[in-house]
Copies of this chain bind each other. A is one copy, B any other.
Amino acid sequence: MQFKAMVISNTEISPGYFRLRLTAPRDTAVSRPGQFLMVKVRDATDPLLRRPFGIFDMATIDSENPETGRQTCLEILYKVVGKGTRVLAALHHGDHLDILGPLGKGFDTSGRGGEKILVGGGVGLAPLYYLARRLLGNSPVRLFAGGKNREDILCITEFERLGIETYVSTDDGTLGEQGMVTAVMERYLSDNPSVETIYACGPFPMLKAVSRIAERYGIPCQVSLEAYMACGVGACLGCVIKGRNHTEEIPDYRCVCKDGPVFDSLELFWD
């Protein structure tokens, strides 16, 4: 779907991190956790390409003007890293954005009601909030959040308000336990091997470590990847990653945009 969204709010929640709330057409309510949006940050050739962002949250609220009735809203949690995100950071209430989405395959939230654990690294936390809200209905959820320092640990209170038990770790120990989020997660698994599914989003090395651990414990693991994207719909083949059986002769490339961004960790070629 392609639509014009209006900026409701755009707030800096931590140095360099913003929460952008947008109006969206009712049909976007089908968005699943893990799906993403391709955002044209402004109507110009600079920057040229759309920028991909996960869905932080989705809600249908009472809109400002009664006429239009209830309004569907999408939220993005983004980190300012370059040109496009700098343009986003300058948006005001009432500005408009051209958006494509929801795109890609989201997280598989089905299951037997067993315990689910979420692992997020830095801005990788973004898609996990909406996922947590969806999972909570029928299963207990734990969150493991990691980052370089306290500034990278986002919206923890929002997660806790959902009644989720959270384990925070930072490289410099400025918040939570000092160390790697994967270490904390593994320690937890060693005491509670009965976890049903692991959901992870963050830097590639973290996802690789998580998938290794998951494999060792025989726990199904879904990872959400990032890739540099041009089209977002499977046409440019710019965002590919290697599938488990990839060889030069029999290529097994998957599009992060179309076959993902969420993959079963066993589908992928990790080294």
Chain A residues proximal to chain B, CB less than 8 Å: 44-46, 92
Give 6 pairs: A residue, B residue, CB < 8 Å, sorted on A.
Answer: A44-B44, A44-B46, A45-B45, A45-B46, A46-B46, A92-B92
The complex is assembled from copies of this chain, and their number is 2
A82 nearest CB across to chain B (Å): 13
Residues of chain B contacted by A46 (CB below 8 angstroms): 44-46
A57 to B168, CA, bound (A): 59
Chain A at the B interface: SS class = loop
CB-nearest residue of chain B to A42: B44
A44 to B46, CA, bound (A): 6
A10 nearest CB across to chain B (Å): 14
A269 nearest CB across to chain B (Å): 38
Residues of chain B contacted by A92 (CB below 8 angstroms): 92
A92 to B92, CA, bound (A): 10
Residues of chain B contacted by A45 (CB below 8 angstroms): 45-46
A45 to B92, CA, bound (A): 22
The 6 closest A-B pairs by CB, nearest first: A46-B46, A44-B46, A45-B46, A44-B44, A92-B92, A45-B45
CB-nearest residue of chain B to A48: B46
A40 nearest CB across to chain B (Å): 13
A45 to B45, CA, bound (A): 8
CB-nearest residue of chain B to A87: B44
A67 to B46, CA, bound (A): 38
A158 nearest CB across to chain B (Å): 30
